[in-house]
Structure 1
Amino acid sequence: MRVTQGMLNNSMLHNLRQNNAEMHRSMEQLSTGKKINRPSDDPVVAMRGVDYRSELSKVEQFERNMSEVRSWMDTSDDAMNEAGQSLHRVRELVLQANNDTYEDEERANMASEVKEITNHLKEIANSKVNNRYIFNGQNTVEPRFDADGELIEDNINNDAVMIEVSDGVKVRANIDASNAFSEDLFESLDGIVSALENGDLEEDADDGDATLNEYIGQLDNHFQSLVNERADLGARMNRIDLIENRLTQQNVTTSDLLSKNEDADIAEVIMNLQMQENVHRSSLAAGARILQPTLMDFLR
């Protein structure tokens, strides 16, 4: 085959373009830190990257959901702890009042304190997280009690709020407010106030209402319901800790796989770039030798 000067020129230019393309790719890898910067660079790596990113996105969403669940549970636990202390104080007052040594005025002061505690419990029952009521079931946009402390019958909801925290795994974020902040609880508190104001001791109650001594038993039942609900919440919080640890590990593992799949080995890229620069210089030098001589070269 006859090799012409034009063929030599075209071959040289083709090789120079390839060298330039390789250098451009290496410089792009060096500047971005990625093996590939477009799917065409390596379709297999690109597809794996899509899968890893999709998995990482899911894990991060579950972690955000977990943060929401954690906020609900922590707030619920603190609220029930505060409610338990409030009920304990009411029980102390009832025990004190159920004693003939206290005057009517003293019992009236106790009634005022129980009223304030009742109002406080209603405020707790209207607790919010991220502007959502956490003790009103799935009706998170409306409170259980209005501004006057009256129970809003149409708003009451005790349904479970389920939030997905892993593939196919949902946990209940709220508590059953019918156990922790039941209507019976507030009826008992109102009855205690009435008994304190009317002096309904065990031995002289004659109006058919419960006596202070009987209210002690009711308070114990309400307190136990609160304890049971808090224990159930505690069990779910322990499970949340386990799921949270697993999500953290999944995040680390998936991020590591994504990095190994896409991140460039900078040392290797620099070495390749240096080799390509050497090849490029050699190509230019060789090309300069085979370029067709000009008329001036023949006239020398």
Structure 2
Amino acid sequence: MIPRVTHLTVQRSTLGNLQSNLRTMADLQTKMSSGKNVNAPSDDPAAASDMLRLRADQRTSNQYSRNATDAEAWLTTVDTALTSSLSALRRARDLTVQGGDAALGAQSREALAAEIDGVKAQLLSQSNTTYLGRTVFAGTSNAGVAFDSTTYAFTGTVAGVTPPVERKVGDAVDVRVDADGAAVFGEGTTSVFALLDDIATQLRAGGDPTASLDDIDTHMDAMLTQVASVGARHNQVLTAQSTLADRQLALTTQLSSIEDIDLAAVILDLQAQEVAYKGALGATSKVLQPTLLDYLR
């Protein structure tokens, strides 16, 4: 049986095809104006899922990068304080050696003792170095200072340990960004501050301070150990930053390959679709030429 073809059938079929062509052209224009292949999850559910995962990875990577930047600033602050402290302690050692000269008069000894006091004040200031309001030698303590200026008590000890300040710079990479002030400067009567007080007292009393040289060397060794530790951790952070930069570039490239359009290809497709749409309009105008007036004639 031959199906009946009427003008209404042709009209509906033709308008449906025109609407389909127009919709395709509109989709291409949307892609070209937005620069994106996927403007809604319904455009490509699989690609949309991949894009969500990649963006989540980007946010995680960006947070690690911010953590690494903060860690680098902490470690730089600690390293600067340790370097200054070592320099000051070396000066104190030189002064102690000078104080061993039995020919020194009382005035000279007083001058050496006063300079020793100045070195102690400098070390005390370095031990209480802060970064963004946080003491870098007192762990997680919020006391405001790492060492009391009179008793030299260490404020960072909690239940016998110094809780470290750490920053996560990778999925399984946590880096300590502070330094244990008790390990660097000692504490209380065994601190480097108390040692320098004793040396100054011996100088003023006319005694021989060179007996304290071994103790000074012990504190210098402790500082050098911490400098090496900070350097190793700083290098770890720099490596993490380099890795994170590579990771961020890779994620951006992967996301772009899914999300961004090939502009040249879309322009060609749009031009071809426009030609097809104009052709369909021309064909429709010829097919639907008869009107009601034509039949009334």
User: Could you state the TM-score of these two structures normalised by the residue count of structure 1?
Assistant: 0.89
Displaced runs of 4 or more, over 6 A: none
Change (3 A) 1:140 1:254: farther
Q: In 1, Cα distance between the equivalents of 2:147 and 2:181?
A: 13
Q: Which residue of 2 aligns with 1:204?
A: none
Unaligned residue ranges in structure 1 (runs of 5+): 202-211
Distance 1:276 1:107 in 2: 97
Q: 1:126 aligns with which of 125, 128, 135?
A: 128
Of residues 182, 188, 196, the one that matches 1:189 is 196
Show structure 2 runs of 5+ residues with no match: none
State whether structure 2 residue 295 is matched by structure 1 residue 291: no
Offset of 1:245 from its aligned partner?
Answer: 2.2
Match of 2:40 among 26, 38, 41: 38
Q: Does structure 1 retain, via aligned residues, the 8 Å contact 2:74–2:178?
A: yes
* Residue correspondence of structure 1 range 104-123 to structure 2 within 5 A: 104-123=106-125
Q: Does 1:19 align with 2:21?
A: yes
1:160 aligns with 2:164: yes
Structure 1, residues 150-196: CA drift from partner, whole Å, max 9, x if none?
35748333322222111122121112211212222111011122222
Structural RMSD (CA): 1.9
Looking at structure 1, the residues matched to 151 and 273 of structure 2 have their Cα atoms a distance apart, in angstroms, of: 79
Match of 2:232 in 1: 235
User: Number of residue pairs matched?
Assistant: 288
Query: What is the DSSP-based 3-state SS (H/G/I as helix, E as strand, rest coil) of the residue aligned with 1:155?
Result: coil
Could you tell me how far apart the structure 2 residues matched to 1:154 and 1:230 are?
A: 20
Instruction: Name the structure 2 match of 1:74.
Output: 76
Matches within 5 A, 1:1-300: 1-140=3-142, 142-145=144-147, 149-150=149-150, 153=153, 155-157=155-157, 158-183=162-187, 184-201=191-208, 212-291=209-288, 293-297=290-294
For 1:141 and 1:8, the matched residues in 2 are separated by 86
For residues 103 and 270 of structure 2, the distance between their equivalents in structure 1, rounded to whole angstroms, comes to 96
Q: TM-score, normalised by structure 2?
A: 0.90
d(CA) in 2 for partners of 1:154, 1:235: 25
Contact 1:127 1:133 in 2 (8 A): yes
Residues 167, 177 of structure 2: 8 Å contact kept: yes
Structure 1 residue matching 2:4: 3-state secondary structure: coil
**Secondary structure at the counterpart of residue 169 of structure 2:** strand
Q: Distance between the aligned counterparts of 2:143 and 2:180, measured in 1?
A: 17
